[in-house]
């Protein structure tokens, strides 16, 4: 007899089917459909009852200033837009061991809130958490640790303790008996995250949720979890123990803000002067294949070195290898150089790297990437103490990029004398085409 109240849900995208299939028809992944119980019974109303809402006229809704809590960590405040908002939920994802739990323990110790911090752990024991807290100096009487995975048990403890801040580490461990005995399924993650965040929203309590990531680097589980929270932060690892915390979604602040930390024995420490963090310290000028770019990340400017290398392609088939820059961008810029600058890249293997390991995706890196590729192909080093910023079109034009003034000022503070690229403030030197830009830059080198 066919089972009732069950369905098969894809662990990759959340698509559901009435019967098992070897391949998910939505995302195309194999062997990802697993049997789950149907949606749980609707949660009973609280003793106080739900508040009935009514439609309001948009123009008559009063404007209230958003009150934020200081997390005690300036870099975390920067990413959140000035602090965490009471009642908001923040999802933090990253590779294992990158520092998610360490950061939240430090925030639990330092956050300026009146009341108890409830740290819910489904993966580590209370002794393990206490050992880490003492090592990084985050042990505090105001933090209560709850090692629990049952959602209803967690909600009962939250009702009893009435915390001022809640941390759940991690959402993949949340479990409801109504959905079966296996944690980490799509329904378990959706239901557990919704129940905890709904309680925190009703009681105006800020919430941090820790999430695992897949091997591709995205948060494991259904995308609906990212839609139901107010902010999504991603931890990335750079070279030399540097950790990057990036805001991919923020309902109460700007996105793409970047927090920069150094992992040390006492925990995650904010970097004081991040503008020059990713520049290479070397004696002499730049080697061929390198160019300096002022990159605008959130509300700050970072100076980074883009490195390029070209070698003859093996078997006549050219390939592009790029880790921290999209390989499609590299291929596009190489095609523009081949068309408008007269360089041949179709018989070359292209290798592109960003010193320091930071990932770049803004349009302003087009021009420095073109300079680095041109320099690598010709063997001519770019002029010293010059930064480059500009968008390169398929027609070979160099177009302006946002915030040219801030890019120029940041470069000047670090001793750079010129900013090459279109700019409205007169600081950036306006160029009509990429071909003219490169000809002027490397004219002295060729002579």
Domain end residue (candidates: 272, 303, 324)? 272
Q: Which region among 12-16, 22-26, 237-241, 410-414 has the lowest average model confidence (pLDDT)? A: 12-16
Residue pair 130/139 in contact (Cβ under 8 Å)? The answer is: yes
Average pLDDT over residues 241-262: 91
Average pLDDT, the chain: 87
Element (H, E) at 353: strand 348-354
**Token couple for 395:** 């027609």
Tell me which residue range forms the domain holding 29.
6-37
- pLDDT at 429 (0 to 100): 54
Q: Which residues neighbour 253 within 8 Å (Cβ) at sequence distance 6 or greater?
A: 80, 81, 82, 231, 247
Strand ranges, E, within 155-206: 165-169
- pLDDT at 35 (0 to 100): 78
Average pLDDT over residues 154-174: 94
Residues 105 and 26 in one domain: no
Using DSSP's 3-state secondary structure scheme, residue 7 falls into strand
In a domain, 58, yes or no: no
Residue pair 220/212 in contact (Cβ under 8 Å)? The answer is: yes
Count of CB atoms within 10 A of residue 426's CB? Answer: 10
**Token couple for 203:** 């009681």
Q: Per-residue pLDDT tens for 331-374?
A: 999 999 999 999 999 999 999 999 988 889 999 999 999 999 99
Concatenate the DSSP letters of all residues of 93-129 into one string.
E--TTSSHHHHHHHHHHH---SS-EEEEESSS-HHHH
Q: How far apart are CA 254 and CA 252, in angstroms?
A: 7
**Token couple for 12:** 């990759």
Q: Which residues neighbour 153 within 8 Å (Cβ) at sequence distance 6 or greater?
A: none
Residues 302 and 154 in one domain: no
Residues 31 and 73 in one domain: no
Domain end residue (candidates: 240, 272, 304)? 272
Average pLDDT over residues 151-168: 95
160-174 residues labelled b (16+ CB within 10 A) or e (exposed): eeebbbbbbbbbbbb
More confident site: 4 or 443: 443
Q: Which region among 5-19, 92-106, 240-254, 306-320 has the lowest average model confidence (pLDDT)? A: 5-19
Residues 310 and 361 in one domain: yes
The yes-or-no verdict on residue 249 having pLDDT over 90 is yes
The yes-or-no verdict on residue 44 having pLDDT over 50 is no
Instruction: For residue 132, name the pLDDT band (cuts at 50, 70, 90).
Output: very high
Q: Per-residue pLDDT tens for 179-234?
A: 888 888 888 898 999 999 999 999 999 999 999 887 777 777 767 789 899 999 99
Instruction: For residue 430, name the pLDDT band (cuts at 50, 70, 90).
Output: low
Average pLDDT over residues 139-150: 94
Residue pair 95/142 in contact (Cβ under 8 Å)? The answer is: no
Residues 253 and 387 in one domain: no
- Whole-prediction pTM: 0.79
The yes-or-no verdict on residue 445 having pLDDT over 90 is no
Residues 32 and 82 in one domain: no
Of 441, 438, 419, the C-alpha closest to 428 is: 419
Residues 193 and 327 in one domain: no
Average pLDDT over residues 102-115: 88
In a domain, 103, yes or no: yes
Residues 378 and 410 in one domain: yes
- pLDDT at 424 (0 to 100): 46
Q: Per-residue pLDDT tens for 380-416?
A: 999 889 999 999 999 999 999 988 888 999 999 988 9
- pLDDT at 133 (0 to 100): 94
Using DSSP's 3-state secondary structure scheme, residue 413 falls into helix
In a domain, 1, yes or no: no
Question: How many domains does one find in the chain?
Answer: 3
More confident site: 282 or 117: 117
Q: Per-residue pLDDT tens for 47-104?
A: 444 455 678 898 888 877 678 999 999 999 999 999 999 999 999 999 888 999 999 9
Cα separation values, 403 from 254, 364, 409, 424, Å:
15, 10, 10, 9
Average pLDDT over residues 162-175: 94
- 305 cis-preceded (ω within 30 degrees of 0): no
- pLDDT at 116 (0 to 100): 93
- pLDDT at 316 (0 to 100): 78
Q: How far apart are CA 113 and CA 169, in angstroms?
A: 20
Where residue 201 sits, what CATH number does that domain have?
3.40.50.300
Residues 322 and 194 in one domain: no
Residues 87 and 216 in one domain: yes
The yes-or-no verdict on residue 319 having pLDDT over 60 is yes
- pLDDT at 26 (0 to 100): 80
Instruction: For residue 38, name the pLDDT band (cuts at 50, 70, 90).
Output: low
The pairing of beta strand 320-322 with beta strand 348-354? parallel
Cα separation values, 392 from 157, 359, 361, 377, 397, Å:
56, 19, 14, 18, 6
Average pLDDT over residues 17-39: 80
Residues 28 and 78 in one domain: no
Q: What percent of the chain has pLDDT over 70?
A: 91
- pLDDT at 338 (0 to 100): 96
Domain end residue (candidates: 208, 237, 272)? 272
């Amino acid at each position: 007899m066919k089972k009732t109240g069950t369905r098969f849900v894809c662990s990759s995208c959340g698509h559901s089917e009435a019967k098992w299939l070897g391949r998910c028809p939505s995302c195309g992944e194999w062997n990802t459909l697993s049997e789950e119980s149907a949606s749980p019974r609707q949660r009973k109303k609280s003793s106080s009852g739900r508040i009935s809402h009514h439609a309001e006229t948009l123009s008559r809704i009063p404007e209230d200033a958003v009150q934020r809590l200081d997390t005690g960590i300036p870099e975390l405040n920067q990413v959140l837009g000035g602090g965490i908002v009471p009642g908001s939920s923040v999802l933090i994802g990253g590779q294992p061991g990158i520092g998610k739990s360490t950061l939240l323990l430090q925030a639990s110790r330092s956050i300026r809130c009146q009341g108890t911090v409830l740290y819910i752990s489904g993966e580590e024991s209370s002794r393990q958490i206490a050992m880490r807290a003492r090592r990084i100096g985050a042990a505090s009487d105001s933090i209560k640790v709850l090692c629990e995975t049952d959602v209803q048990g967690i909600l009962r403890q939250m009702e009893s303790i009435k915390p001022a801040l809640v941390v759940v580490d991690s959402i993949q461990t949340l479990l409801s008996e109504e959905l079966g005995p296996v944690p980490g399924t799509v329904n378990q993650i959706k239901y557990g995250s919704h129940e905890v965040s709904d309680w925190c929203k009703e009681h105006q309590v800020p919430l941090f949720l820790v999430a695992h990531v897949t091997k591709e680097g995205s948060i494991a589980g259904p995308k609906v979890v990212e839609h139901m929270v107010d902010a999504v932060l991603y931890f990335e690892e750079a070279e030399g123990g540097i950790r990057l915390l990036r805001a991919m979604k923020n309902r109460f602040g700007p996105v793409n803000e970047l927090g920069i930390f150094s992992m040390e024995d006492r925990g995650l420490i904010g970097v004081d002067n991040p503008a020059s963090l990713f520049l290479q310290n070397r004696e002499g000028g730049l080697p061929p294949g390198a160019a300096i770019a002022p990159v605008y990340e959130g509300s700050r400017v970072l100076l980074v070195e883009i490195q390029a290398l070209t070698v003859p392609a093996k078997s006549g088939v050219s390939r592009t290898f790029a880790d921290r820059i999209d390989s499609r961008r590299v291929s596009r810029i190489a095609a523009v150089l081949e068309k408008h600058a007269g360089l041949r890249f179709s018989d070359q293997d292209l290798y592109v790297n960003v010193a320091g390991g930071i990932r770049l995706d803004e349009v302003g890196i087009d021009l420095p990437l073109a300079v680095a590729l041109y320099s690598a192909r010709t063997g001519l080093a770019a002029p010293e103490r010059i930064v480059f910023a500009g968008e390169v079109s398929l027609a070979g034009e160099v177009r302006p990029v946002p915030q040219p003034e801030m890019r120029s000022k940041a470069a000047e503070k670090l001793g750079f004398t010129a900013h090459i690229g279109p700019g409205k403030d007169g600081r950036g030197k306006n160029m009509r085409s990429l071909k003219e830009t490169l000809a002027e830059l490397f004219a002295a080198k060729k002579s």
